A and B are shown apart, each in its own frame.
Chain A
Amino acid sequence: METNFYTYSGKHRGILAWILSTDHKRIGLLYLSSMFTFFLAGATLGILMRLELIAPGPTIMTAQTYNAVFTLHGVIMIFLFIIPGIPAALGNFMLPLQIGARDVAFPRLNLLSWWFFITGGLIALTSLFTGGGPPDTGWTFYVPYSIRTGTNVSLALFGVFLLGLSSTLTGLNFVTTIHRMRAPGMTWFRLPLFQWSLYATGWVQLLATPILGITLLLVIIERFFGVGFFDPAKGGDPLLFEHLFWIYSHPAVYIMILPAMGAVSEIIPAFARRTIFGYKAIAYSSLAIALVGYLVWGHHMFTSGMSDASRVVFSLLTFLVAIPSGVKVFNWVASLYRGSIQTDAPMLFTLGFIFLFSIGGLTGLINGALSVNIHIHGTHFIVAHFHYTMFGGTAFAFFAALHYWFPKMFGRMYREGLARVAWFIIFIGFNTLYFPMFVLGWQGMPRRYYDYLPQFQTGNIISTIGSWILVSGLLLMLFNLVRSISKGEKVGDNPWGATTLEWKTSSPPPHNNFAEIPTVTTGPYVFK
């Protein structure tokens, strides 16, 4: 009972005990560490991009380099950080613990998923240094350019294909696990809300990712064999690629945000010390987002050439998908009402999430309106909207969850004061960095351009300064977390007094998670 999963001795030793382990907790930490390594690479590219844009004209890099940098920033952040993000790292760690199971349904498949992830990531990074140079297509790989460019697109696509496979298999594993391995008494409506969000995400991963797989394969085949599916000279249609790409890539943003919403739904009851408001509404809205989110991809293509009828339908569906997100926001806020709110770091990040995600979500409606979309399509407004949902939304919730579950994963506490300071710097830096982009975009500054007109300089300078603030906050936060893994103060099994099952076992948990599988008799958020 005294040994936890770190001290447990399995078949292998040293690093092999990690990279060959089928223990979901170790795999979760493998994801976490590899993911943050990629995140730092992506953030470095981001800060270089901002530095280039501090003044009009060439500043620190050539136009071609800039194209490669924004492509890689996108590919790394999307496919290597934010899509695997919360589910693969924290989901892996917490899913069996929260439902009272000893592991996921397919532990070896779980390990295989990580191997696909790390191989795919390394292949994508290899594409930078080999072949015809780093890909310069943007993370969307739009044809016909992605077929014609001489840069190393095929290898990068293959890497992303493997990442997609990894994501699909993780989804498969989680859906099966939640169906089959809940502890006795853990009915569907006693599941913690994080589980509901993982469940909905799992289905999106399963049903959307294969479309990306085949689309990327088709581009690779196109580059090697010139089949002609996307080449107008041979009768192909480049728009078809855009459709196929967004059939996956729009649901993918829900793969990114749903688990974030789930994590937030865990933290709010723990720090307001009362049950969540509207449990079922939050659970069902996760499913509704997954379902409707599957059908809105056309809103990425309002200016690409589509019939008016389809544009109206896609616009309407886009408005509809905002409703379940709104339901969640209202429920979170209502949960705070008359709670005894504690503003520890996880809660601060969560409140930051609600604020920033609301801005991101509401500007999404502006994008979704047909007439306005014509004006802001392809401008920095989109960049700002996207970062408010994905960084202000998903990443803030990720950081919140990381602080929240930190004592669970490591048995030690980070330094609270430092964490609050880091949160403050990140929050200020984030808004300084991205808010000016709304204004710049509205004024007409296009995205993905290496240069801009002189009248946009003020906004760009503010934004670049914001990037420095943001990065210093991020480094402070990571420093605090990394040092606390070994030097943090030891705290008990349940420092937050939270009520879900993962806190009922020791921290860090033993290899088998529970000495005895618990029997569940109440809902997840019952505070006495």
Chain B
Amino acid sequence: MAELAKTSEAVHRDYTGAKIGMWLFLFTEILLFGGLFLVYAVYRTKHQADFHTAAAELSVAIGAANTMILLTSSLTMALAIAAIRRSAKTASIVFQSLTILFAVIFLVNKYFEWGAKIGHGLYPNSPELLAQSHGTILFYGLYYVMTGLHALHVLIGIGLLLTMLILTVRDRITNTDFVKLENSGLYWHLVDIVWIYLFPLLYLIT
């Protein structure tokens, strides 16, 4: 390894570099959501009471279920990396597939949740919503935009994890070269942790 580090080939095997890059990328993701959290903080301060009553309309049960699902998926993700480290390829493939499965279930739940709200006429710019107070309009705006942007990240995560799954099956991710999987895991944990903040801010503030 020491000799390899001197050649240009080593450039593409710089694990620390790859990790630094990934962490920097996660900073940018946090700031992307940070903009929304700022909007949330401003409007929540202005419309305390409206936010409380509006949040009561959301289903804590579905939200809690989705929280459990995402947390479990973070566990399976970590197990997938642990498995590849000890060369347990099959176990890693199973855990990666489970992670993807949980992500899909999360999105299905989200679909029904949004569907029900839209069925009740509660969506941005709907006549139903515009008849309500300013705070309620903003709360639902934030609800859709924040969970929407998060869902988009889950979707991207599914694509990313599918790629990793294929790479693992084809032995391109192995116990000596798994930084791609590790970085995908970091991304997945970020998606998870954003939800950990969204859940109380949107569902539990009643």
Contact assessment for A207 and B27 in the assembled complex, using a CB-CB cutoff below 8 Å: yes
A440 at the interface (CB under 8 A from B): no
Contact assessment for B11 and A235 in the assembled complex, using a CB-CB cutoff below 8 Å: no
The 0/1 profile, CB within 8 Å of A marked 1, for residues 140-175 of chain B is 011011000100000000000000000000000000
Contact assessment for B125 and A214 in the assembled complex, using a CB-CB cutoff below 8 Å: no
B21 at the interface (CB under 8 A from A): yes
- Taking CB atoms, residues of chain B closer than 8 Å to A517 are 6
Instruction: State which of A176, A240, A512 has its C-beta within 8 Å of the C-beta of B17.
Output: A176
- Taking CB atoms, residues of chain A closer than 8 Å to B33 are 214
**Residue contacts A-B, CB under 8 angstroms, 21 given:** A105-B21, A176-B17, A176-B20, A179-B17, A180-B20, A207-B31, A210-B34, A210-B35, A211-B31, A211-B32, A211-B35, A213-B35, A214-B32, A225-B124, A227-B124, A228-B124, A228-B141, A229-B145, A234-B130, A234-B138, A235-B43
Task: Name which of A38-46, A167-175, A379-387, A444-452 contacts chain B.
Answer: A167-175
- Taking CB atoms, residues of chain B closer than 8 Å to A512 are 8
Interface residues of A in 156-213 (CB under 8 A from B): 168, 172-173, 175-176, 179-181, 206-207, 209-211, 213
- Taking CB atoms, residues of chain A closer than 8 Å to B142 are 229
- Taking CB atoms, residues of chain B closer than 8 Å to A244 are 35, 38-39
Q: Considering the complex, give the chain A residue whose CB is closest to the CB of B136.
A: A235
Binding site secondary structure of chain B: helix
Contact assessment for B32 and A210 in the assembled complex, using a CB-CB cutoff below 8 Å: yes
Q: Considering the complex, give the chain B residue whose CB is closest to the CB of A103.
A: B11
> Closest approach, in angstroms, between the C-beta of A123 and any C-beta of chain B?
19
Contact assessment for B24 and A206 in the assembled complex, using a CB-CB cutoff below 8 Å: yes
A207-B27, A221-B145 given as contacts; is B14 within 8 A of A180 (CB)?
yes
- Taking CB atoms, residues of chain B closer than 8 Å to A234 are 130, 134, 137-138, 141
Q: Considering the complex, give the chain A residue whose CB is closest to the CB of B20.
A: A176
A106 to B18, CA, bound (A): 8
Q: Considering the complex, give the chain A residue whose CB is closest to the CB of B12.
A: A107
Q: Considering the complex, give the chain B residue whose CB is closest to the CB of A516.
A: B6
A215 at the interface (CB under 8 A from B): yes
Q: Considering the complex, give the chain A residue whose CB is closest to the CB of B19.
A: A176
> Closest approach, in angstroms, between the C-beta of B37 and any C-beta of chain A?
10
- Taking CB atoms, residues of chain B closer than 8 Å to A228 are 124-125, 137-138, 141
B113 at the interface (CB under 8 A from A): no
Contact assessment for A210 and B24 in the assembled complex, using a CB-CB cutoff below 8 Å: no
The 0/1 profile, CB within 8 Å of A marked 1, for residues 25-54 of chain B is 101110111111011001100110000000
Contact assessment for B135 and A235 in the assembled complex, using a CB-CB cutoff below 8 Å: yes
A105-B14, A214-B32, A234-B134 given as contacts; is B145 within 8 A of A179 (CB)?
no
Contact assessment for B125 and A225 in the assembled complex, using a CB-CB cutoff below 8 Å: yes
A225-B125, A228-B138 given as contacts; is B20 within 8 A of A179 (CB)?
yes
Instruction: State which of A101, A105, A206, A226 has its C-beta within 8 Å of the C-beta of B28.
Output: A206
A253 at the interface (CB under 8 A from B): no
CB-based closest 5 A-B pairs: A235-B134, A214-B35, A226-B125, A210-B31, A227-B141
Most buried by A among B6, B24, B43: B24
- Taking CB atoms, residues of chain A closer than 8 Å to B39 are 218, 229, 240, 244
- Taking CB atoms, residues of chain B closer than 8 Å to A211 are 31-32, 34-35
> Closest approach, in angstroms, between the C-beta of B152 and any C-beta of chain A?
10
Give 10 new A-B contacts, CB below 8 A, not counting A213-B35, A229-B145, A517-B6: A172-B24, A210-B31, A211-B34, A214-B32, A218-B35, A225-B124, A226-B124, A229-B39, A235-B47, A235-B133
Contact assessment for A240 and B42 in the assembled complex, using a CB-CB cutoff below 8 Å: yes
Q: Considering the complex, give the chain B residue whose CB is closest to the CB of A226.
A: B125
Binding site secondary structure of chain A: helix
Q: Considering the complex, give the chain B residue whose CB is closest to the CB of A172.
A: B24
- Taking CB atoms, residues of chain B closer than 8 Å to A240 are 39, 42
Contact assessment for B141 and A209 in the assembled complex, using a CB-CB cutoff below 8 Å: no
Contact assessment for B138 and A229 in the assembled complex, using a CB-CB cutoff below 8 Å: yes
The 0/1 profile, CB within 8 Å of A marked 1, for residues 94-128 of chain B is 00000000000000000000000000000011000
Q: Considering the complex, give the chain B residue whose CB is closest to the CB of A165.
A: B28
Contact assessment for A172 and B34 in the assembled complex, using a CB-CB cutoff below 8 Å: no
- Taking CB atoms, residues of chain B closer than 8 Å to A175 are 20, 24
> Closest approach, in angstroms, between the C-beta of B166 and any C-beta of chain A?
18
- Taking CB atoms, residues of chain A closer than 8 Å to B11 are 101-103, 105, 181
- Taking CB atoms, residues of chain A closer than 8 Å to B29 are 210
- Taking CB atoms, residues of chain B closer than 8 Å to A344 are none
- Taking CB atoms, residues of chain B closer than 8 Å to A103 are 8, 11
> Closest approach, in angstroms, between the C-beta of B24 and any C-beta of chain A?
5
> Closest approach, in angstroms, between the C-beta of B43 and any C-beta of chain A?
7
A244 to B31, CA, bound (A): 12
> Closest approach, in angstroms, between the C-beta of B143 and any C-beta of chain A?
10
Instruction: State which of A102, A206, A215 has its C-beta within 8 Å of the C-beta of B27.
Output: A206
B176 at the interface (CB under 8 A from A): no
> Closest approach, in angstroms, between the C-beta of A465 and any C-beta of chain B?
44
A206 to B144, CA, bound (A): 26
A497 at the interface (CB under 8 A from B): no
A52 to B27, CA, bound (A): 45
Contact assessment for A214 and B36 in the assembled complex, using a CB-CB cutoff below 8 Å: yes
A103-B11, A225-B125 given as contacts; is B25 within 8 A of A172 (CB)?
yes
Instruction: State which of B32, B124, B137 has its C-beta within 8 Å of the C-beta of A235.
Output: B137
> Closest approach, in angstroms, between the C-beta of A179 and any C-beta of chain B?
6
A236 to B145, CA, bound (A): 14
Interface residues of A in 207-251 (CB under 8 A from B): 207, 209-211, 213-215, 217-218, 221, 225-229, 234-237, 240, 244
- Taking CB atoms, residues of chain B closer than 8 Å to A227 are 124-125, 141, 144-145
- Taking CB atoms, residues of chain A closer than 8 Å to B130 are 234
Interface residues of B in 1-22 (CB under 8 A from A): 6, 8, 11, 14, 16-17, 20-21
